[in-house]
Amino acid sequence: ELPDEFFQEQAELKDYLLINKIGEGAFSRVFRGIPQKNSSKAYLTRNFTECAIKVIQKDQSSGATIKKDEQTKKSTREQVMKEVQIHKLITCGEGAQNIVQFVDFQESENYYYIVQELLRGGEIFGEIVKYTYFSEDLSRHVIKQLALAVKHMHSMGVVHRDIKPENLLFEPIKHIPSKKPVLRRSDDPATKLDEGEFRPNVGGGGIGVVKLADFGLSKQIYQTDTKTPCGTVGYTAPEVVKDEKYSMGVDMWGIGCVLYTILCGFPPFYDEKIDVLTEKISRGEYTFLRPWWDEISDGAKNCVRKLLEVNPDKRYRIDDLLNDEWLNTYDAVRQREA
């Protein structure tokens, strides 16, 4: 059964039909939607038969869990506008193929609606839950695409700041004929393919195109044309300049956490007590825990190490990652699928 709220969300929305809920975040509900082809907005959706619609409730509505005061209301609006502005910006240009495409934005009495391209596979997070961990080939396939998304954002002066498996979405590979059973590790010689044989990218089924989503925490740190920090012209303090330089590294750390997690099935840093966890992170205290990491290659471990480097000056930058030896290892399975 659908909550009353659903009908309200539909009632206030123009040009799109809401079909079913496909996800949610702390302040949002995301629906699969169908654009109404006879609407004035149809030109925006000519390439889409379906889309994803992120609905953010305004603070003051009845029964809302979010705070009610004027201050919060204003800042929520500003946050949503910033998310939309950045999402629009990075949807454009060459190299945006691994960014979930922005389509449309609406504001109604009680909601904000961010209409986006739909990714039918859902979250990479769900695949980790389903398959525990990914083969090195599949991990490389995912991280390469994530790296291209981050490359695009960083080259436009934007940092994502919330890179995690929940915000990584994918399009499933359709229709893969496979005679052999799906096994976890494609690197295992016992599961090698016969010439010309296709198989899902082992240990995660058919993950095709991977795209980065959720720009709710994203920040534009400089304008691409001037390379100067946003909103200032030469009066920026050194610590601000430094902060902005280091903020790119936040995404690289995030990629490191994702890579670690998909390779072994659990995150690099964990503790039930938040202060203990914070301490572990600040010291960069993680291990390649046995036996889970025993059969993972040195190349993959090296890549993780370079990303989970506590010193931001030594940490991989996006171009270092794109040139990483392990990331560029030839993948026969993938090549054949392409």
**Which residues are documented as binding site?**
54
**Binder to ligand ADP among 22, 34, 44, 209 (CB under 6 A)?**
22
- In SS3 terms, 119-146 reads as CCCEEHHHHHHHHCCCCHHHHHHHHHHH
**Count of beta carbons in the 10 Å neighbourhood of residue 146:** 25
Catalytic, out of 162, 214, 324, 331: 162
If one asks whether residue 9 binds Mg ion (CB under 5 A), the answer comes out as no
d(CA 98, CA 168): 10
Contact between 213 and ligand ADP per CB under 6 A: yes
Binding-site residues for ATP:
54
CA distances for 99 relative to 7, 90, 155, 251, 276, angstroms: 30, 8, 13, 15, 34
Report the C-alpha gap between 204 and 95 in whole angstroms.
26
54 binds, among ligand ADP, Mg ion, none (CB under 5 to 8 A by kind): ligand ADP
Q: Does 324 bind ligand ADP (CB under 6 A)?
A: no
Residue 167 interacting with Mg ion (CB under 5 A):
yes
Nearer to ligand ADP among residue 22 and residue 277 (C-beta): 22
Please pick, from the candidates 18, 80, 89, 100, the single residue that binds ligand ADP as defined by CB under 6 A: 100
Contact pick of 57, 76, 98, 116 for ligand ADP (by CB under 6 A): 116
And the tokens for 83?
A: 């998310």
Q: Which of 6, 8, 25, 60 binds Mg ion (CB under 5 A)?
A: 25
107/80 Cα distance (integer angstroms): 10
* Minimum distance, C-beta of residue 29 to ligand ADP, in the bound complex (Å): 8
- Regarding 214 and contact with Mg ion (CB under 5 A), the answer is yes
Residues 127-156 within binding reach of Mg ion (CB under 5 A): none
Catalytic-residue membership of 275: no
Q: Which residues of 80-118 are buried (b: 16+ CB within 10 A; e: fewer)?
A: bebbbebbebbbeeeebebbbbbbbbbeeebbbbbbbbb
In whole angstroms, how close is the CB of 215 to ligand ADP at the nearest point? 8
Query: Could you say which DSSP state residue 106 is in?
Result: E
Helices (H), 54-123: 70-91
DSSP run (H or E) holding 54? strand 51-57
Peptide bond into 181 cis (omega under 30): no
Q: Which residue is nearest to ligand ADP (CB)?
A: 25
238-257 mask for ligand ADP (x: CB under 6 A)? --------------------
Part of the chain binding Mg ion (CB under 5 A), chosen from 49-57, 213-221, 274-282, 305-313: 213-221
Q: Report how far Cα 253 is from the mean position of its chain's Cα atoms.
A: 14
Using a 10 angstrom Cβ sphere, with 0-12 exposed, 13-18 middle and 19 or more buried, the burial of residue 294 is exposed
In the chain, the N- to C-terminal Cα span, in Å, equals: 41
60 binds, among ligand ADP, Mg ion, none (CB under 5 to 8 A by kind): none
Candidate list 26, 233, 237, 274; residue touching ligand ADP; CB under 6 A: 26
- Judged by CB under 6 A, the residue of 90, 103, 119, 149 near ligand ADP is 119
| Window of 10-18, 69-77, 105-113, 114-122 that interacts with ligand ADP by CB under 6 A | 114-122
Residue 312 found at the interface with ligand ADP (CB under 6 A): no
In whole angstroms, how close is the CB of 231 to Mg ion at the nearest point? 26
Structure tokens that stand for 329 in this block = 């290892």
| CA dihedral of residues 227, 230, 234, 238 (deg, nearest 10) | -90
Contact positions vs Mg ion (CB under 5 A): 25, 167, 214
Which residues here bind ligand ADP, judged by CB under 6 A? 22-28, 30, 52, 54, 100, 116-119, 122-123, 166-167, 169, 213-214, 216
Please identify every residue annotated as catalytic.
Answer: 162
